[in-house]
Structure 1
Amino acid sequence: MTGAAPETTSGLRRGVYALLIALAAGSATGRILAVNSVNLTVHERERIKAATERRKADLIKQGFEGEALENRVARIRAEYEERLQLQRPFLSGNDRSRWCTIRALVDDGTYQIEQIVANAEERSIWNTIDMIKHRGWDGQPHLYSTKPPLFPTLVAGEYWLIKRLTGLTLADHTFTVVRIILITVNVGSLIVFLLVLARIVERYGTTDWGRLVVMATAAAGTFLCTFAVALNNHLVAAVAVIVALDATLRILYEGERRWRFFALAVAAGTFAAATELPALLFLALFGLALLWKCPRETLLAGAPAFAVVMVAALGTNYLAHGGALHEDSKWLDPIKPPYAFRDRGADEEGKPRDWTNGNWYNYTYEIHDPRRPDRPPRVVQSYWSRDEESLARRSRIDLGEPSRATYALHMLIGHHGIFSLTPIWLFSMAGMVALCLGRGESPTRLIGAIIAVVTVVVFTFYLMQTQENRNYGGMTSGLRWTFWLAPLWLLALLPAADWSSGSRLRRVVIGVCLAFSVMSASYPTWNPWTHPWLGQLLAHLGWIEL
């Protein structure tokens, strides 16, 4: 046996124990609050069985028996297994929209997705509300994902490789392929995020306790972990931000002058902006800081990196949506994202515009059933149309918050509140002030000022949106527009966490805040596309309507 550990480490050990307890308690509490025993496997099986038995009874009445009856029943059961399927590895229309693009690119060589979503055989698994309609390169109307195409195009590269090497396809092996990609893309991204953050806190933290608090928060106390089970842009954007932040800190504060760090900082920042539009401000401010500090290296190494990523982002957007352009299009239209073509006012006759004259979100489409070609197709109205019938079908949260004051309240301390759901960020705000004041040995005023400006401007940007867009990010467990800011807030948390190490009371308070943050992140046990626990509690009490 080895001897007892030195007494000098006992305080650190107790701190680690406390953090682990906070993580475990918060995670367990969140999952307990979300418990709801619905076994989809059993429900799906019983649903198919009941439907098949009803059809079998009808066939018996029609005189079918013996082998003829069994053959017909087998075909009917196979049909219902497709039509009545409830289980799927996709969790919302948001991620299904991206998956449709990925599948269409590899299987069909196109960005259009109606061959998937408008097919009655596929619809039960692949349907999504996040679609637009416009003319394609062939001059015919097609359906497309609303999501910026760069990220799905990159993921399609992995799917192409999986298909070539294994023969597995998203159509026939949906669960297997989706899980392989989610593990490589999302779990891989999360690991990179934590590894890069660990390097930052090791260099700039001043206490073991502070470093551990920041890493514990990143590992379990943010909604990036929650969304790791679904294909989304927030996690990869956060990884891009942390990579850009690490490279920039090395340049600004550690004397790093190798060109690859300039290229990495700018390329990662540009990718973040390509996946989260407000991150353009992050890119601009950090780019200016690099240009001020090292103009030559920034221009010679950073500018080409910016160009490569930007060409990829704008190029994929043009390939996906450039076919909709016509002689009356404005010169910037080829590079605008789909949401720039939403609700573009009324036409010359005062009628709301539709997909034919500028509003790609207002359209109808037809669902065809290849098993019953004699039946007329079913016409479906876009979820995002603004006629009275369509608005009546929308969920309450997708109608938007009428009051900006109420929206600000719930964004900060309400049902989707940054601080009510994840109170650990209160310490980040304090740390941000400390950075701006130049206290401590962490990166000081410049970085603190940039983080503060980005935070305030992003919050204001979403606060000033039209009512329809003041929707908290839709059906989601947190204010997802702000998830990509997590790397900046984690850096700001570091000086506050270091400060908390000097007092038992401070350590207890920050531990409690961390536990509540972990609870909120753990509450969506299976699906991050659910309302937060606080929102559901307030709705249950009748105080709000979601």
Structure 2
Amino acid sequence: MTNTALATDLPTSDQIVHNTRLRWCIYILLLTVTAGQNLAAIMNSVPLQSANDRSRWCTVWSLVEEGTYQIDTINDRSGWSSIDKVRHQDHFYSSKPPLFPTMVAGLYWLIKTITGLNLNQNLYDVAHLILILVNLIPMLIALALICRMVEKYAQTDFTRFFVVIASCFATLLTPFLLTLNNHSIAASCAVCTLYPLMRIILDGDQKKRYFVLAGFFAMFTCCNELPAALFGLVTFGLLFKANPRLTLLVFSPAALIPLIGFFVTNYAATGGWKPFYMYYGTEKYLYEHKGIPSYWNNPQGLDQNLDSPLVYFFHCTLGHHGIFSLSPIYLLTLFSWVRIRQAAQHTLRPLLWISLGLTVIVFGFYMTRTGNYNYGGNSAALRWMLWLTPFWLISMIPLLDQFANRRWLQCVGVLCLLLSVFSAHHPLHNPWRAPWIFSWFKEAGWIQYEQRPTAFKRPHSSWLASIPESTPEVPEPFVEFTGPANDGRLIRLRISVVKSEEQQSKAPNLRTIQVTRHLGSDLVQSSRYSIDVAKFNAGKWPEEFLQWPNENVSDAEKYAAYRFFYGMPRRRAYNPGKTRHLFTPLRQDAYRCQLAASQVAVTIAADTQAEKKLRYRTDLWLTDQIPFGVAQFETSVYDGSKGQLLSRQTLIVTSASGQSAETTE
């Protein structure tokens, strides 16, 4: 009776086939959903989202449009410039390894040749199509292989569905499908290596095609992620142990294909065998061009390397970029490693050791690079660990199998899964943004990576930063700004110091400036102002530093003068901003400027039904290399209620005393 009952409990072959088909229907449904979701995200994404992917896109454009790895032309185009570049033999090059961008360039050439679409006129269409081909399709293939692996090596349905759902929706690889990067393709290649590797070493299936696939994709993973070279060596060692002949005769030639491509493209780009990114910290990174120093001369934000090793370790694991805090599903992987001895009989035990060893060594490698403690820059994840995602997903299978029937583990697993899904979808439209935990820590005041702007030496109560002094070489210093008016005519504003020896002898602190404003050919303002330089330099308001030798000045004229020096309808001090570089018509080199800004709210027609609240904002580019200390000023008017921009006027310096066209290169 008991034997009969047991026999009826065992699934028949028909039931096994039926259950397998049902699971595959669910897998296909999940893959279809993730394909549709990511396709929609790619089609709605904005290309050139960060310096990282712009660097690769610049190489792609230059190879197809100009036939060179030099990115000088496209780097000067608005929206394309990148900090991820090097200066080599008086030209700019991307600092990224050239193999992958070269392959993408070949794809772009085909698209351009067949369809006529190009990155100049059809940026969105071409970029989206390329991202679908190089990111989405390889990732879908990788997900299908993961489905095959869990179907073969997992023992319970809970484990199978958990790992597949996590792979589709809960990893931080998902947002990177929207950008041209090396992490997505490296992770996909890692899966394409794992599958044949597992078939060979776990199943004993030593078909030649598995050695070919393992060799090619293991090396291509290495070409896209330098630390993956360790994975390539491990793969070679395991396969050599399994079958030395096929490893040498099949695996090795397949691995040579991407390896040769890596060095050939690198030599074509650099003129040597050493990749550009290995020159970090040298003159190739630390350059100055046209007056603008490399970003890496003075890195900002996370790139400043402010954290100690202990703090960095915490934030890489449990903090704002933490592997486990952002993706709690990997806690299951961690516990699976801890219980590795209890998985002695599980088929995947060798893979547990491989994934544990790779993770510890790769993580340790980056922990030793104390000069690059930047968490992968401003991005949604600890980018340089993303290629290990497939290893972590497969490694949680033994633990899930062992405890799949325990309700508490299912609840914990589902909770971790939901939190991981949230982290993966929070930056879905732009992976080049800080993780949600980073934003939370920042708002709470627990972290501070932003460098505060340099404070002014004195209060800036006027948009003019300084009043120049007359010298024998330049008796009447002047500056002239020009810019378009709203009616299409040219505004020309000239400010100059009026030399007066009599005034200097009587009142040495008093200087007179002449202000003339032309609108087209019409003179609309011609005024003289006497300024007490001592009070001006002390940061006093115009009401205090303006002097009126002629007592017959009306209040309206005084108020107009005050508004001119305010740069706005009402007075308010200017706040310091970041350092920026500005190109002007005065010279080819950029001016190093400190930004400054101020804004005031004004209500107009307050006694009528047409009352309107406006917000005036003035932005300044300040430099001590130009008389009066201003290279550009911009006035914007916004609707105070809606925040809508109503008008904007920008005046840039076009002529100044003591200036001549100079170049540094």
Residues of 2 paired with 1:143 and 1:171: CA distance?
20
**What secondary structure sits across from 1:384 in the alignment?**
helix
Which structure features the higher share of helix residues?
A: 1
Q: How does 1:72-111 map to 2 (within 5 A)?
A: 88-111=46-69
> Paired residue for 2:365?
461
**TM-align CA RMSD:** 2.5
TM-score of the two chains, using structure 1 as the length reference? 0.73
In the alignment, is the contact (CA less than 8 A) between 1:317 and 1:335 conserved in 2?
yes
> Paired residue for 1:65?
none
> Paired residue for 1:157?
106
> Paired residue for 1:493?
396
In the alignment, is the contact (CA less than 8 A) between 2:174 and 2:428 conserved in 1?
no
> Paired residue for 2:312?
407
**What secondary structure sits across from 2:79 in the alignment?**
helix
**What secondary structure sits across from 1:475 in the alignment?**
coil
**What secondary structure sits across from 1:144 in the alignment?**
strand
Residues of 2 paired with 1:424 and 1:400: CA distance?
29
Q: Does 1:421 align with 2:370?
A: no
> Paired residue for 1:58?
none
**Shift, 1:499, TM fit:** 2.8
Residues of 2 paired with 1:185 and 1:402: CA distance?
35
Cα 1:229–1:193, aligned 2, differ >3 Å: closer, same or farther? same
In the alignment, is the contact (CA less than 8 A) between 1:435 and 1:492 conserved in 2?
no
Paired residues in the alignment total 419
**Shift, 1:343, TM fit:** 1.5
**What secondary structure sits across from 2:348 in the alignment?**
coil
Residues of 2 paired with 1:342 and 1:234: CA distance?
20
Residues of 2 paired with 1:153 and 1:116: CA distance?
16
In the alignment, is the contact (CA less than 8 A) between 1:210 and 1:500 conserved in 2?
no
Q: Does 1:340 align with 2:284?
A: no
Cα 1:88–1:527, aligned 2, differ >3 Å: closer, same or farther? closer
Gaps of 5+ in 2: 1-14, 450-665
> Paired residue for 1:37?
none
**Shift, 1:145, TM fit:** 0.4
Residues of 2 paired with 1:426 and 1:266: CA distance?
31
Residues of 2 paired with 1:191 and 1:179: CA distance?
16
Residues of 1 paired with 2:341 and 2:212: CA distance?
27
In the alignment, is the contact (CA less than 8 A) between 1:259 and 1:301 conserved in 2?
yes
Residues of 1 paired with 2:362 and 2:140: CA distance?
26
**Shift, 1:449, TM fit:** 1.5
Q: How does 1:241-260 map to 2 (within 5 A)?
A: 241-260=190-209
For 2:84, the aligned partner's letter is: D
For 1:460, the aligned partner's letter is: G
**Shift, 1:253, TM fit:** 1.6
TM-score of the two chains, using structure 2 as the length reference? 0.60
Residues of 1 paired with 2:336 and 2:177: CA distance?
27
Q: How does 1:310-349 map to 2 (within 5 A)?
A: 310-322=259-271, 334-344=272-282
In the alignment, is the contact (CA less than 8 A) between 1:473 and 1:480 conserved in 2?
yes
Gaps of 5+ in 1: 1-5, 32-40, 42-86, 136-140, 323-333, 345-353, 355-359, 367-378, 386-390
- Map Cα deviations across residues 92-144 of structure 1 (whole Å, 9 max, x no partner): 010010000001111111101001112xxx2x221111110102xxxxx2100
Counterpart selection for 2:419 from 504, 516, 526: 516
**Shift, 1:335, TM fit:** 2.0
- Map Cα deviations across residues 35-56 of structure 1 (whole Å, 9 max, x no partner): xxxxxx9xxxxxxxxxxxxxxx
In the alignment, is the contact (CA less than 8 A) between 2:171 and 2:389 conserved in 1?
yes
**Shift, 1:437, TM fit:** 4.7
**What secondary structure sits across from 1:109 in the alignment?**
coil
In the alignment, is the contact (CA less than 8 A) between 2:351 and 2:395 conserved in 1?
no
Residues of 1 paired with 2:105 and 2:56: CA distance?
10
> Paired residue for 2:151?
202
> Paired residue for 2:164?
215
Residues of 2 paired with 1:134 and 1:452: CA distance?
40
> Paired residue for 1:448?
352
> Paired residue for 1:66?
none
For 2:293, the aligned partner's letter is: Q
Counterpart selection for 2:211 from 258, 262, 273: 262
Residues of 2 paired with 1:418 and 1:315: CA distance?
35
Cα 1:436–1:172, aligned 2, differ >3 Å: closer, same or farther? farther
**What secondary structure sits across from 1:531 in the alignment?**
coil
Which structure features the higher share of strand residues?
A: 2
**What secondary structure sits across from 2:295 in the alignment?**
coil
**What secondary structure sits across from 2:226 in the alignment?**
coil
For 1:319, the aligned partner's letter is: A
In the alignment, is the contact (CA less than 8 A) between 2:159 and 2:401 conserved in 1?
yes
**Shift, 1:202, TM fit:** 0.8
In the alignment, is the contact (CA less than 8 A) between 1:500 and 1:510 conserved in 2?
no
**Shift, 1:441, TM fit:** 3.2
> Paired residue for 2:446?
543
**Shift, 1:525, TM fit:** 3.4
**Shift, 1:272, TM fit:** 0.5
Residues of 2 paired with 1:480 and 1:413: CA distance?
15
- Map Cα deviations across residues 215-271 of structure 1 (whole Å, 9 max, x no partner): 011101111111111111001001111111101111112122222211210111111
> Paired residue for 2:228?
279
> Paired residue for 1:396?
301
Residues of 2 paired with 1:157 and 1:196: CA distance?
27
